[in-house]
Amino acid sequence: MGLIQCNDVCKSFGEKVALDHVSVDIPKGKIFGLLGPNGAGKTTLIRIINRITIPNSGSVLFNDRPITQDDVEKIGYLPEERGLYRKMKVGDQAMYFAQLKGMSARDAARELKKWFVRFGIESWWNKKVEELSKGMAQKVQFITTVVHNPSLLILDEPFSGFDPVNAQLIREEILRLKDEGATIILSTHNMESVEELCDNIALINKSHVVITGGVDEIRRKYGNNNVELVYTGTALKPAAGVFDILSDNDDAGRHTAVLALESGYDTNKALREILLQDVTVNSFKELVPRMNDIFIKLVTEEE
Partner 1 sequence: MKIRNIKTIISREYMTRVRKKSFLLTTFLVPVLFAAMCILPSVIMLMAKDSDKKVAVVDQSGIVMPYLADTESVDYTDYSTVPVDSMKASFESLGLDALVVISPIDSVAKTVSVSSYSAKPLTIELEEGVCSKVNDAVEDYRLAQYDISDLRQIMDSIKSDVSMSTYILGESGEEKITSSEVYMMISMVLSIIIYMFIAMFSGMVMQSVIEEKASRVVEVLVSSVKATELMFGKIIGVACVALTQFFLWIVLTLVLVGGFSAFVGFDSLMGDPAQTEQMMEMTAQMGGVDMAEMTASMQEQEGMGAVLNTLRDINWAQMIIAFVVYFALGYLLYASFFAAIGSAVENEADTNQLQMPVTVPLLLAFLIAIYAFNAPDSPVVWWGSMIPFTSPIVMLARIPFGVPMWELVLSIVLLVLTFIGCGWASAKIYKIGILMFGKKTTFKDLWKWLRQN
Q: Does residue 30 belong to the site contacting partner 1 (CB under 8 A)?
A: no
Among 7, 23, 99, 226, binds partner 1 (CB under 8 A): 99
Q: Does residue 253 belong to the site contacting partner 1 (CB under 8 A)?
A: no
Torsion sign over Cα 31, 35, 39, 41: negative
Torsion sign over Cα 111, 112, 113, 116: positive
| Minimum CB distance to partner 1 smaller for 34 or for 72 | 72
Q: Interface mask (CB under 8 A) for partner 1, residues 133-172, using x and -?
A: --------x--xx---------------------------
CB of 146 to partner 1, least distance (A): 13
Query: Of residues 41-70, which lie at the interface with partner 1 (CB under 8 A)?
Result: 47, 50-54, 69
CB 60 within 8 A of CB 97: no
Label residues 268-294 b or e (16+ Cβ within 10 Å = b).
ebbbebbeeeebeeeeeeeebbebeeb
Backbone torsions φ then ψ of 22, nearest 5 degrees? -90, 125
Q: Does residue 125 belong to the site contacting partner 1 (CB under 8 A)?
A: no
Residue 282 CB contacts under 8 Å (≥ 6 apart), including other chains: 230, 231, 232, 254
Task: Round to whole Å and give the CA distance between 124 and 173.
Answer: 20
Among 8, 57, 59, 100, binds partner 1 (CB under 8 A): 100
Among 38, 64, 65, 81, binds partner 1 (CB under 8 A): 81
Helix (H) or strand (E) segment spanning residue 216: helix 215-221
Q: Does residue 101 belong to the site contacting partner 1 (CB under 8 A)?
A: yes
Task: Round to whole Å and give the CA distance between 79 and 96.
Answer: 17
Q: Does residue 82 belong to the site contacting partner 1 (CB under 8 A)?
A: yes
| # of chain residues touching partner 1 (CB under 8 A) | 31
Q: Does residue 265 belong to the site contacting partner 1 (CB under 8 A)?
A: no
| Minimum CB distance to partner 1 smaller for 52 or for 246 | 52
Q: Does residue 257 belong to the site contacting partner 1 (CB under 8 A)?
A: no
| Minimum CB distance to partner 1 smaller for 51 or for 208 | 51
Look up residue 177 and give its amino acid: L
Among 1, 38, 66, 83, binds partner 1 (CB under 8 A): 83
- SS3 of 98-144: the string is HHHCCCCHHHHHHHHHHHHHHCCCHHHCCCEHHHCCHHHHHHHHHHH
CB of 301 to partner 1, least distance (A): 29
3-state secondary structure (DSSP) of residue 301: helix
| Minimum CB distance to partner 1 smaller for 57 or for 280 | 57
Among 85, 125, 222, 284, binds partner 1 (CB under 8 A): 85
Q: Does residue 13 belong to the site contacting partner 1 (CB under 8 A)?
A: yes
Strands 31-35 and 183-187: parallel
CB of 23 to partner 1, least distance (A): 22
Among 64, 65, 68, 87, binds partner 1 (CB under 8 A): 87
For residue 161, what is the DSSP state?
Answer: T
Which residues here bind partner 1, judged by CB under 8 A?
A: 13-14, 47, 50-54, 69, 72-73, 75, 77, 79, 81-88, 96-97, 99-102, 141, 144-145
